[in-house]
Structure 1
Amino acid sequence: MRMFRFAVVLMVLAFVAALVPATLAQDTSLGLNGDDAALLGAATANSSEYSQLSFAYTGDFNVSGIPDSGDVSVSFSGSGAVNGEAEAFEMTISGQATVEGQTNPFELELRVIGDMFYVNLGPAFGGWLGGSINEMMDLSSAMGGSMLPVDPSTLQDPEAMSEAMGQIMEMPGMMEAITALS
């Protein structure tokens, strides 16, 4: 049960980390002046001709003032690749989460090949799991309303984001899951 709770915490953090850049990217100029925005637009148009790409990323996620738990800090990095011709996607993420002064490492690997997905949660969670993307989407649609009490459109507003994080922390079992990490 402890490992399951840890997996749930990691999935929630991964979900939030994935949504924040997507919601912030809605302003296509990204706050750039006209010339810089045009240069970025031209680069984006040029890169749209490619069917393969690779990427790397790093990030930090910090939440403070959580009652009974103190601060939560997550640092992560990863890389990935997309091959449109082969209909393949690969992404890795690794990092560490610190809760109440206890630091725990984590790793996750995701692969999509055709209409199948595979995820490696590590040996503690059973290693590689996989299935049909359609089945996963049906499952996430069925569970989405009750899994996260977060409206993705609120992630642009810092106050709303703070409130959403508070709602996540109030989910039944969430504090126990975070406490179990230590």
Structure 2
Amino acid sequence: MKVGIMGGTFDPIHTGHLLAAEWAREEAGLEEVWFMPAGVPPHKPNAPKASADERLALVQAAIAGHDSFRICGIELEREGPSYTADTMEELVQRHPGVQFSYIIGADMVQFLPHWNRIERLAELITFVGLQRPGYPLELEELPEAIGRRVQLVPFIGLELSSTEIRRRLASGRSVRYMVPEPVYTLIREKGLYGS
């Protein structure tokens, strides 16, 4: 089985995340996409605003009803920083019959050589790089061991960010249609992000 991993803090999950996951699923021939909320991301200095349980609930609300979307809470089970290499090593051990691909934006593809234990990660999985118009990228610029493990797919993208959504909520502005309706409802019910 071919599974795409969509990682992120999802603080909160938004329509752009879902579009990217669906696009990658179809364009890269993935059977499922597993959404993996980050525990403590090593590259982000500030902790997520919502708790792990709240972010998990938001992701669950967002993907409910999609037969090919699943949630994977593996990074929330561990303490300390969550490095993708450690997580994927554990997932590969837990699911030996699964071929994993990690879904990232093409802007992140160029930073792959700087990822923690990237050589090991490139042995374990492949990457699906969603390439937006206007962001040219040549895989030849990457070390060969990494570049040959990346599949670039054209992507229209949405200019949405969780940071902007949190700002809008904190100032009492609407985020309707930026997040799925069940996520919007849950944010308001729980009073998340100053809503």
Query: TM-score normalised to the size of structure 1?
Result: 0.29
Which structure has more strand as a fraction of its residues? 1
Larger radius of gyration: 1
Could you say which structure has the greater relative contact order, defined with CA pairs below 8 angstroms and 6 or more residues apart? 2
